[in-house]
Structures are given as C-alpha cells and as structure tokens.
C-alpha cells in the first residue's frame, strides 16, 4: 500500500500525534509520500525507529500523481483538507482527515482515535463518502486554477463599504438580485461553514443540493435558497468600485464588474474515508453541542 501524508507544518504540541501516524505506517511497512512542508517537522522526531522509514517527497499535484498513493492522510483541520483537494483534484485519491485544527467537520478523526482509524484503513473497515464540488467559469474566458470549490464559492464586495448587487440567473432565467455584502453558493459539505454563519441551513452530505445564502442582505425577505445541484447559475455583479471578489474555498480572485460568473456542479467528486467511529450525525452533535443540557 502507498499512503501520502499532507499538511502544513504542525504545531510543536501536535508532533507526538504525527509520530503516532508515522509509527503506524512504519509498522505496516507501507510506502510513504511526504508533502515537502511536512518534512522539516518530521525530521524533529529523533527516534531511530523512524529513521528507518524512507519517504518519497512530493511538492505539487504532478509529483503526487507520480507517487500514485492509495490514500492521502490529511494532518490538520478542515482548511488542510481543502488545500489537499487542490493537489488531488480528479485523481480519485480518498482522504482520511485527522483533526489537528479546531472545529473539524471534514477532518473529524480525533487525535485519540488515530491508531484505531488507521487500523480500520488497513483492515478495510471503512466507507467512502463522496462529496460534490462547485466549479466556476468566467464570461471572459479568464482561467482560474484551480476553478473548483469543495465548500463554497463566495461573491463579495471589494474595497468598499457599500453593498453590491448580485444579479442571479438560474438555468438562464432571472431569479433574483441580491442587494447585500455578498452571496455564498455552498455545497452540502460547505453548509456547516460560512453559509451556516450567515443563517444558511445544514444540509446532509450527498443530498445533491446547493444553497444560495446572502451575506447581510438589505432586503430581509432574501432568505437562503436550496436548489438542486444539476442547475447552472449565472451571476452578474454591480459595484460602486466596479470590482468584486470571488473566493473559491478561500482562494481569492479579483474581477471587474463586466465579468460574469458561470457556476455549476464539478464533473468529479472528492472521496472522504469514513470509519465506524465517524458519522455525520455524531459530528454535528459533537461540534455543535447538540443534545447537551446547559440549563443546570
């Protein structure tokens, strides 16, 4: 088996957990591909047992594809998994997310469950949870690389405190003009992110929906709107500054207001490894403190 490790440089207090991951992989004798920024952190683990473990170092998506891993283990939070999707794209490499960040809806393997989850990976006691993505194109044929988002695509104002107007068309037909600070187009995966903070609904994964959530709308009747993911959206933005920002999973792009965006479902999915210790309902309860009585 071949496994790629991905992550930013972990904090000092997280190094023991990185060591646990390396130890498990060493015990199984798997080939390990190590993301270059992790190399320095792993070198801080001074143990003869780990010096025997050789790494293939990769820096980008081409080198990851050449390593050809069976799985990728993400060491970090949800943002780390979002970064990993840029490397994986349509390569069909399942991701096991180990949470070394904060909230962790995607990276939902707790540090205390690292060994059990990796054991489940080797024994085949897991399922693949396929997540849909959004992709964006421009009317000017400007190339955005990458042009997809696992969580959301956000339209926002740029260098102004004034509202923008987002004229929205659904499959070519006029839907609405959002007078707001911006508009979030979210996948079910992203429904627990920025959209949720702006009053959007929580959507079960694999629901085959997207949600349009306005950011601080001027018209209070503009509520979050759930649509099927087989629809195509066309957005035309008006702004006093004649510019706006488009964010694809926090990757920022600036456009002039003459540019229209075409947003639709991407033609590939991202696979997340889900062991018997993980399910969406328990993640919601744990992360959002559902079902806990704080009255006493």
The pLDDT > 70 percentage for the chain reads 95
With CA atoms as reference, report the closest residue to 269 among 153, 69, 149, 131.
Answer: 131
Q: What is the dihedral of CA 56, 59, 64, 67, to 10 degrees?
A: -20
pLDDT-based confidence at 131, cuts 50/70/90? very high
HSE, side-chain direction, 13 A CA sphere, residue 186: 29
pLDDT-based confidence at 47, cuts 50/70/90? low
- Domains of the chain (ranges, CATH numbers): 2-132+269-288 (3.40.50.10330), 134-265 (2.60.200.30)
Q: For residues 99 and 88, give the distance between their C-alpha atoms in angstroms, rounded to a whole number.
A: 19
HSE, side-chain direction, 13 A CA sphere, residue 173: 3
pTM (2 d.p.): 0.90
- Which residues fall within 8 angstroms of residue 233, CB to CB, at 6 or more apart? 168, 169, 170, 185, 212, 261, 262, 263, 264
Running DSSP on this structure, what letter comes out for residue 112? G
Q: Is 173 left (phi over 0), alpha (psi -120 to 50) or beta?
A: beta
Say whether pLDDT at 46 is over 60.
no
HSE, side-chain direction, 13 A CA sphere, residue 74: 28
Q: For residues 62 and 42, give the distance between their C-alpha atoms in angstroms, rounded to a whole number.
A: 22
pLDDT-based confidence at 44, cuts 50/70/90? low
pLDDT digits (tens, 9 = 90+) for 60-118: 999 999 999 999 999 988 999 999 999 999 999 999 999 887 767 888 788 888 999 99
pLDDT digits (tens, 9 = 90+) for 175-224: 999 999 999 999 999 999 999 999 999 999 999 999 999 999 998 899 99
List the catalytic residue out of 14, 47, 70, 78: 78
Structure tokens at 177: 């003009």
pLDDT at 282: 81
Is position 229 annotated as part of the catalytic site? no
Highest mean pLDDT among 4-8, 97-101, 284-288: 4-8
HSE, side-chain direction, 13 A CA sphere, residue 176: 14
What average pLDDT does this structure show over 114-136? 92
H/E stretch holding 145 reads none
Say whether pLDDT at 143 is over 60.
yes
What is the chain's alpha carbon radius of gyration, rounded to the nearest angstrom? Answer: 21
Q: For residues 11 and 31, give the distance between their C-alpha atoms in angstroms, rounded to a whole number.
A: 25
Sign of CA dihedral 274, 280, 286, 291: negative
**Per mean pLDDT, which range of 18-27, 48-57, 180-189 is the poorest?**
48-57
Structure tokens at 139: 């009317």
């Amino acid at each position: 088996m071949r496994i790629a490790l991905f992550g930013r440089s972990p904090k000092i207090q997280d190094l023991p957990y990185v060591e646990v991951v390396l130890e498990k992989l060493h015990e199984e004798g798997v080939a390990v591909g190590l993301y270059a920024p992790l190399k320095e952190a792993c070198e801080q683990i001074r143990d003869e047992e780990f010096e025997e473990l050789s790494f293939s170092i990769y820096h980008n998506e081409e080198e990851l594809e050449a390593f050809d891993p069976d799985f990728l283990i993400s060491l970090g939070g949800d943002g780390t998994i979002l970064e990993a999707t840029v490397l994986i794209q349509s390569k069909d490499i399942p991701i096991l997310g180990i949470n070394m960040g904060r909230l962790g809806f995607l990276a939902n393997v707790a540090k205390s469950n690292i060994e059990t989850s990796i054991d489940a990976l080797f024994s085949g006691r897991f399922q693949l949870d396929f997540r849909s993505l959004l992709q964006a194109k421009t009317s000017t044929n400007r190339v955005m690389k990458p042009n997809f988002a696992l969580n959301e695509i956000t339209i926002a104002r740029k260098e102004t405190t004034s509202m923008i107007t987002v004229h929205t068309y659904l499959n070519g037909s006029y839907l609405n003009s959002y007078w707001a600070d911006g508009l979030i187009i979210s996948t079910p995966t992203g429904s627990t992110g920025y959209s949720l903070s702006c009053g959007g609904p929580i959507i079960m994964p694999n629901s085959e929906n997207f949600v349009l959530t306005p950011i601080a709308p001027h018209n209070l009747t503009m509520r979050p709107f759930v649509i099927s993911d087989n629809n195509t959206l066309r957005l035309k933005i008006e702004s006093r500054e004649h510019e706006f920002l488009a964010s694809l999973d926090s990757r920022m792009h600036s456009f002039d207001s003459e540019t229209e965006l075409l947003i639709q479902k991407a033609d590939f999915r991202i696979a997340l490894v889900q062991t018997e210790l993980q399910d969406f309902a328990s993640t919601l309860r744990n992360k959002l403190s559902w079902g806990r009585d704080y009255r006493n």
